[in-house]
Amino acid sequence: MKIQVLGMGCPRCKVLYAEAAKAIKASGIDAQLEKVETLDGILAYHVMATPALVVDGEVKCVGRVPPVKEMVAWIATAAGSPGGGTDGSHS
């Protein structure tokens, strides 16, 4: 699974990257986290505001830093285990 943080290095982009790393760890799912910092790379997802989060090619949020719990649910759903998280809770 690939999770991408789209943004050119603003403070909120950095926070989203750190929070996404926490969400991956909390999900217990093997995922690759990467930054997409080039304008062409960001525009390839038709995103006009940053930060943005992409999970397996699908844009999940734009212009905000979602809670870790919300990201864990997206990761779990993309991995085929709805609900996700290590505590079995739903968001």
Residue 91 lies in a domain: no
Residue 19 lies in a domain: yes
Annotated catalytic residue: which of 9, 10, 25, 90? Answer: 10
CA angle 46, 24, 62 (to 5 degrees): 25
Helices vs strands, H then E, count in the chain:
3, 4
Residue 12 lies in a domain: yes
Q: What is the count of structural domains for the chain? A: 1
In the predicted structure, residue 70 carries a pLDDT above the cut 90: yes
Q: In the structure, what pLDDT confidence band is assigned to residue 44 with cuts at 50, 70 and 90?
A: very high
Residue 27 lies in a domain: yes
Place of tokens 């999940």: 60
Judge contact between 76 and 27, C-beta under 8 A.
Answer: yes
CATH assignment of the domain containing 34:
3.40.30.10
- Quick one: angle between helices 11-27 and 68-79, nearest 10? 50
DSSP 9: S
Residue 53 lies in a domain: yes
Q: What is the pLDDT of residue 89?
A: 39
In the predicted structure, residue 26 carries a pLDDT above the cut 80: yes
Lowest-pLDDT range of 23-27, 33-37, 70-74, 87-91: 87-91
* Full residue range of the structural domain in which residue 70 is found: 2-79
Annotated catalytic residue: which of 13, 16, 24, 47? Answer: 13
Q: What is the pLDDT of residue 82?
A: 59
61 is catalytic: no
Q: In the structure, what pLDDT confidence band is assigned to residue 59 with cuts at 50, 70 and 90?
A: very high
Residue 90 lies in a domain: no
